[in-house]
Homo-oligomer: A and B are copies of this chain.
Amino acid sequence: MIEILRTTEQFQIFRKHIKTDLSIGLVPTMGNLHKGHLSLAKESLRANDITVVSIFVNPMQFGPNEDFEKYPRTLGEDAQLLKELFRSEGFPKSGQKRLVIFAPESVEEVFPSGYQTKIEVGQLTDKLCGLNRPGHFEGVTTVVYQLFNIVKPTRAYFGQKDYQQYIVIKKMIHDLRLDVQIIPMPIKRDDNGLALSSRNQYLSENEMELALNLPVTLNALKQIIKSNPWPISYELCHAEIEKKIKSNTGWDYLELLDAKTLESPQNTTHTVIIAGALKVGTTRLIDNKLAEVVYA
């Protein structure tokens, strides 16, 4: 059974009738679903009685010069993809699992007129995507808080392409003692290595070539970490990063950080994240690789 709810009130009525012993998985998306989103929905369907895929292009997380207006809105196709996933996973037969699409029909459904309360995670948002997208993470944490509030999920699924987003939301959940389990899911990639993103469709064929520089660079850096003892590997990576940034003005950032704290790695660091944001034409793409450091 699959249904689409278009208002918060509708959703809240639906939510009220869910028995308290059933588990609910939330997959928050901005729609225009690709295999990355579907892998989250699939895992949520497996682990929960009810899966809610929210589809909401959240204006609060876009900057004034970003692509809010242009962001693809494809509810019909999204619903079709979810229906197919639901069917292919064999759930209609059992009759127990449910998939619900919560697609607020207007911004006011989530942020009613006069809304003015924001939730902001501090230090973790001062870097990487937070640097060149002021207010972005505040928009993300605020909308995720609202979605948690409306959906009241047992578990929430986030893709690791937006690794900083995952860490920031995890911190919000911890600090605000929210009663939800956050589940990070691995990045889905095209055959050519490019991380799946709704923004990939903005790329021309030529730009697609340039975009591959992003995963190729991250992979090369990951190889350095894997094949050298720590912290020599850090020095080597660091030098390589400086070279890359000098040779291409498209890098918004290219960094190696402790995966847990998003601070500079320490002698005691176990896992690093190699994260990059690359501008290709007018499109800004992000990607990252996690790597365990090697102690000699």
Contacts and interface: CB of A to CB of B under 8 A. Distances in A.
A171 interface: yes
Interface stretch (A51-59, A119-127, A268-276): A119-127
Nearest to A120: B118
Nearest to A149: B177
Interface in A127-176: 141, 145, 149-150, 171-172, 175-176
Please give the count of copies of this chain that the complex contains. 2
Report the contact-size class of chain A (Cβ under 8 Å from the partner): 10 to 19
Contact of A171 (B117, B149, B150): B117
A172 B119 contact: no
A116 interface: yes
Interface in A85-132: 115-124
A88 B120 CA distance: 44
A118 B117 contact: no
Nearest to A173: B117
A70 to B, nearest CB: 26
Interface of A: 115-124, 141, 145, 149-150, 171-172, 175-177
